[in-house]
A and B are shown apart, each in its own frame.
Chain A
Amino acid sequence: MAGFARPDSFVPVASALQLLPIRFERLGGDRFLVGNMVGDMAEMTQTELDRLCALDLAPGDGLYERAFEKLFISSVEQRAQQQLLALRLRSRLSFLRAATPLHLFVVTLRCEHSCPYCQVSRQSKDRVRYDMDEATASKALDIALSAPAPLIKIEFQGGEPLLNFELIRWIVLAAKERAPRRGKQLQFVIATNLALLNDEVLDFCGEHGVLLSTSLDGPRDLHNKNRPRRGSNSHELAVAGIQRIKERLGPDRVSALMTTTEASLDRVEEIVDEYLRQGLDGIFLRPLSPYGFAIKTKQFHKYRAQDWLRFWKRGLRYILDINKSGRHFPEFYSALILRRLLSDEPIGYVDLRSPAGIGLGALVYNYDGAVFASDEARMLAEMGDRTFELGSVHEHSYRDLVLSDTLVSVVADSLTQTAPECSRCVFEPNCGADPVYHHATQKDPVGIKPLSEFCERQKGVITHLFELLEHSPEDAAILRRWAQ
């Protein structure tokens, strides 16, 4: 039997070591977050980071091992480390292969609610002017079905889309008739406040597999304050609607979204409890966006990113404790970020990708036939800013819209991979480009990131989740399950 060689016979030659692309950010004090180009991150001290950058690493010192496992370093003769980075980067960008899976139809801008935070600037009357007609819907449907994605998701938006249910019915039936020829699969969702839910709607949704998504802002007083309507019964109607859908169509046919207002900030536990009480399978703690009435009524400016982060962290703590007692109840925004952090599979969320999800992730067909690059883009248009209007269903094809100069230049300008601040940000692989937000808040699709609340929120959320994953094993086990 030949002898065995000692461990030091296998250490790489120091001069052959090379640094692979890394980025870093100070977490505070002597703590740094160091990341690779596919979103793996490690915590290091200043000394450790300096040694990494200087390649002052000795196999066996622990730092070498951490750096190698995270694909921060390699030896020049090795190929596997770079191959792993390359194939993972390809996976992370594979959403580009199935362009534009999401299509939003604004079937009416009318609404019977009068929410001060309304981000779409709803109208209260004039059916002729603010409802989509069949001719427009038909053209929009043809555009949607010519997108490359194999699974086309059609979401009915408003206003309150049930005010134009006849058109929803027409679009669903027409889509089902036209999709097989194009080899497309379909999914339908109605985003509704449920106030107008009736048996006819329920039967139709049951028959055609249409999902329902609603708004639930929390307990009755908070919800009804946020979402006024004649009779002050928005909450009662939403809750009754959720239960009816669960009973008639099944527990997984309805989901809810909440919007955080100033009045929500101190009440996150009550909001979560309301979701639990309604038997919902998780909650999306969502900040207010800077569009529509939210700006006009100054709702948006009533709290800042840090206020929302505090609200979210407190909510997350409460939600994690609920999960510890055995109930699977994710916070969906965390779940999205966690999937970015823990896997390379692309997520369907259009705001967390670069190239930006506008147009390439979603198209919005407005009631009047105008086509926008995202839901937020049409919200801006209702405020008089038509920057992200791509064309019209009556004049343009899918190709015209997606290859329009407007879209191509905004997507190209806002690539986080090359944008100032973003390109060297440790969070970039797990973040995304949001040119509409930055245009709306800073009049610039790239934006000055140190002044961006989007950026502040993203950094806060990702850092917090990273710390829980690293330092809080019990929470980490729950968070990893959410990412599944």
Chain B
Amino acid sequence: MKPLVLFGRSPAADLAGLGAGRQSWRLRSPVNSPAGDRDAALIAHQDDWELAVAQGYTLAICRDERPAHASLSYVRLPAQFAELGEGDVLRVQPETGRVRVLYRRSSRHNFFLVTERCNNYCLMCSQPPKSVDDGWLMDEIADTLPLVDPTTPSLTFTGGEPLTEWRRFIGLLDLARDLLPDTAVHVLTNGRAFASPEVASAWAAVRHPKLSAGIPIYAAVDHVHDYVVQAKGAFDQTVLGVLRLKDRGQRVEIRIVLHAVTVPRLRETCSWIARNLPFVDHVALMGMENTGFAIANEDLLWIDPMDYREQLALGVEVLATAGVNVSVYNLPLCVLDHSVRPFAVQSISDWKNAYVAECDGCSARDECAGFFSTGRPKFSRGIAAI
């Protein structure tokens, strides 16, 4: 099982006359003329080269060699690269020939990495933070948002901590509001920044009609949460942040990653949410992706989902009967108690979603989240065809 290849180095390119610096390009079939100067022709047949020139494209994206007679600037995709289609957005770095897919129109799981910087340092972080100056990432996103299909149903901003440079990030949300008002914009944040009323108010002032914040609370006990995120005082700030957002009528999702440190008090954590934060819009109880720091801390974190099956069932039941909207992410149906299965969601992003041999004969495969193909996947002893 392997994730889709969405970045790599182009084996061949001719970018003469395109200028230096990274650029975002929207792919378009040369049957149609370009809708803007950021549209590149997606070559499917040899005939398309001529068509692309005739339509006035300045760049072609292709899989095969450029025919000898053609002279249009082009980028050839790496051999194992994922299938691309009309409306997808590709980032091209002319100097190095590096290409990266930023947006796939057919996917429900598009996300933008806002920064790799973070003031948490979670034990199981799948995207380990780096202390680097990566402000250019937000420029790139600002460059790319105008190319995203405005009918795209959802988009996620992730990190690092997207609110690290919060003023600039709020600017991106303003842009998303203007360009993509119908898209559900979900921001994965640790929520600590919202402890400041100024940040919470700026967020609310964006007034994107479908904006929500996904905020992790790993326990209802200060030192447990702080340990998981490796930051003293984080619990207090995060809870205050959630309260400030809700006080301003903003959508908030609480996210709990299930691992050996969070699971022992899962039922209590869920009861606490039901009693103290019943007004949150969604609670996601999430199986852990064994990648990034989770691999380094495997001894500390790994627990077979079969060993928290009962805790999870109790937690889900407490939340659901309290009227809290709850889902279970990232866990295959076969390891879940029957009562929990209706709450399970096919949550794993399409580009890293996979199934195992046992799934072949399984009647529930079409509704099942399956597995992560990233990192070093760990498998439950409970995996079995249903």
Contact = CB atoms under 8 A, between A and B. Distances in A.
A78 B236 contact: yes
Which DSSP category, helix, strand, loop or mixed, fits chain B's interface? helix
B272 A80 contact: no
Contact of B223 (A10, A77, A473, A477): A10
Interface stretch (A83-91, A254-262, A349-357): A83-91
B221 interface: yes
A483 B222 contact: no
Interface residues of A, number: 36
Interface stretch (B54-62, B154-162, B227-235): B227-235
Nearest to B317: A477
Contact of A342 (B121, B233, B322): B322
A4 B300 CA distance: 11
B48 interface: no
A325 interface: no
A11 B314 CA distance: 28
B268 interface: yes
A480 B121 contact: no
A4 B223 contact: no
Interface residues of B, number: 36
B289 interface: no
B220 A59 contact: no
B256 to A, nearest CB: 14
Contact of A481 (B223, B275, B297, B321): B321
Contacts of B226: 10
Contacts of A344: 275, 278
Contacts of A88: 276
B236 to A, nearest CB: 4
Given A40-B275, A477-B321, A79 B240 contact: yes
Contacts of A68: 220-222
A83 B243 CA distance: 8
B153 interface: no
A59 B219 CA distance: 13
Given A1-B296, A80-B240, A477-B317, A343 B223 contact: no
Contacts of B221: 59, 64-65, 68-69
Contacts of A2: 121
Contacts of A60: 223
A84 B239 contact: yes
A60 to B, nearest CB: 8
Contacts of B135: none
A476 to B, nearest CB: 9
Interface of A: 1-2, 4-5, 7, 9-12, 40, 59-60, 64-66, 68-69, 71, 75, 77-80, 83-84, 87-88, 342-344, 473, 477, 480-481, 483-484
The 4 A-B residue pairs with the shortest CB-CB distance in the complex, in nearest-first order: A80-B239, A10-B226, A480-B321, A69-B220
Interface of B: 121, 123, 128, 220-224, 226-227, 230, 232-233, 235-236, 239-240, 243, 265, 268-269, 271-272, 274-276, 278, 293, 296-297, 314, 317-318, 321-323
8 contacts: A7-B227, A10-B227, A11-B223, A68-B222, A69-B220, A69-B265, A342-B274, A344-B275
